[in-house]
Amino acid sequence: MSPYKSFRYIENLADFVGQEVTLRGWVQNKTGKGKLQFIILRDGTGICQCVIFKNNVSEELFADAKTLTQESAIEITGTIRAEERAPGGYEMDVTGLKIHSISKDYPITPKEHGDAFLIEHRHLWLRSSRQHAIMRVRAAIVKAIRDFFDGNGFKLMDSPILTPNACEGTTTLFETKYFDLGSAYLSQSGQLYAEASALAMGRVYTFGPVFRAERSKTRKHLTEFWIVEPEMAFFDLNDDMDLAEDLVEYIVQYCLKHCQTELKLLERNIENLEKIKRPFYRMSYSNAVDWLVENKIPLKKKIDGKDVDILPFPWGEDFGAVQEEAIMEQFDKPCIIHRYPAEVKAFYMKRDPEDSKVVLAMDMLGPEKAGEIIGGSQREDNIDLLTERIKKDNLPMDEFQWYLDLRRFGSVPHSGFGLGLERVVKWITGASHIREVIPFPRMIYRIVP
């Protein structure tokens, strides 16, 4: 057996009650008096209190243990005992100790630190129990997403990150030099490639990081974020919305099943998550505008540098956080808003055959101020209308010839959507800022660490 296979981890201690095991990890905290020392050990899978009783160990071991500081790295051996009152439910009666390194003046102490300090120390902050719990939920959500698609006949088709053109508007592109070919752009969305993949494979999803040179300094925007984008041949908007609801229900229910410890540590309201079962709510953009008008929710605009409230909310304007949050106040489950004005949405969205002012788009808004967690649409499959939109948006026609080929050869109705991973992790964990839900956040004012 490879030696690493004999490593033991705190999350599996239930299997080792009454046995002597060695744990490897870091000292989260140490207390003690007289003949007793208590070490709270953290090994990445959980925490375990290790009890050192002077009469059971050598003088040398007891003295070594006294030198341990917060975040010192150790291997510690002892017998495991079930202990209801202990964090994690088990304790170790220590018999052996090996010190890997003593940590000096660890900057993050149990006292409160400001946000700016913590984010600067993100490489260490990740070790704190809340951050650790959020990262475990994030990993569970990624697994839920993969399980959902892999288990429902979808194929993973990775899309490129270096691309020749824009997908989601030209104002948020990161540009980079690309050898003798001029400029390349970091992908804003894998969608256009997912469409090509769907016509090859039927049902696909792409899952990876995307980049937006977005100026918004909100609690919901990153410049680099992860997105999962399913794309399905022969799906119309209704099929697309059904799939989006199934996915979100699956993710939430998966977390409830597998992340109880983490959600409890995060003090997340579990009852609210338990309500996330289909059917969700749905509303057309036009009905949503009627509601905003009735409830006197204004459009917020900056005119000549001044914030102005425009009432009644004018049909045709996009919703911002103010409108989305107002609409969602009434709902305890996600709500899909569909059929937005063509003017505010991307070039690739299909015109509604019943009303050419709107496109077959849908955004899923989450409850509890989660904001937009999904954006998607049925795609324009009429080559003339699509060409017209590409021209109107001043997109480079040459670079889009391959995309138009998808309408020339075997064009079919098709649809897809993008779910922003961090938006969903933020909602499910209840984190107050999106920067806490990705290991190393990228925002306009931050690229280190």
Binder among 189, 197, 323, 429 for ligand 4AD (CB under 6 A): 189
Q: Does 374 bind ligand 4AD (CB under 6 A)?
A: yes
Q: Does 418 bind Mg ion (CB under 5 A)?
A: no
- Which of Mg ion, ligand 4AD, none has residue 165 at its interface (CB below 5 to 8 Å by kind)? none
Q: Does 193 bind ligand 4AD (CB under 6 A)?
A: no
Structure tokens at 102: 């003593």
Cα 150 to Cα 135: distance, rounded to the nearest angstrom: 22
Structure tokens at 342: 């063509």
Smallest gap from Cβ 368 to ligand 4AD, in A, equals 15
* Residue 249 C-alpha from the chain's centroid: 15
Q: Which range in 50-58, 117-125, 196-204, 413-421 contacts ligand 4AD by CB under 6 A?
A: 413-421
HSE (side-chain half, CA atoms, 13 Å) at 159: 29
- Which of Mg ion, ligand 4AD, none has residue 324 at its interface (CB below 5 to 8 Å by kind)? none
Dihedral sign of CA atoms 279, 234, 210, 142 in order: positive
Name which of 42 and 426 has its Cβ closer to ligand 4AD.
Answer: 426
Smallest gap from Cβ 377 to ligand 4AD, in A, equals 6
Name which of 10 and 194 has its Cβ closer to ligand 4AD.
Answer: 194
> Judging by DSSP bridges, how do beta strands 281-284 and 361-366 pair with one another?
unpaired
Q: Does 378 bind ligand 4AD (CB under 6 A)?
A: no
- Which of ligand 4AD, Mg ion, none has residue 420 at its interface (CB below 5 to 8 Å by kind)? ligand 4AD
DSSP category for residue 392:
H
Q: Does 422 bind ligand 4AD (CB under 6 A)?
A: yes
CB 330 within 8 Å of CB 369: no
Site pattern 362..381 for Mg ion (x: CB under 5 A): -------------x------
Residues 206-265 that bind ligand 4AD (CB under 6 A): 212, 214, 221-222, 225, 227, 229
Name which of 298 and 430 has its Cβ closer to ligand 4AD.
Answer: 430
Name which of 133 and 374 has its Cβ closer to ligand 4AD.
Answer: 374
Three-state secondary structure call for residue 249: helix
* Residue 147 C-alpha from the chain's centroid: 16
* Residue 347 C-alpha from the chain's centroid: 26
Phi, psi of 289 (to 5 degrees): -65, -45
Name the β-bridge partners of 225. Answer: 210
Cα 237 to Cα 228: distance, rounded to the nearest angstrom: 18
Residues forming contacts to Mg ion in the complex (CB under 5 A) are: 375
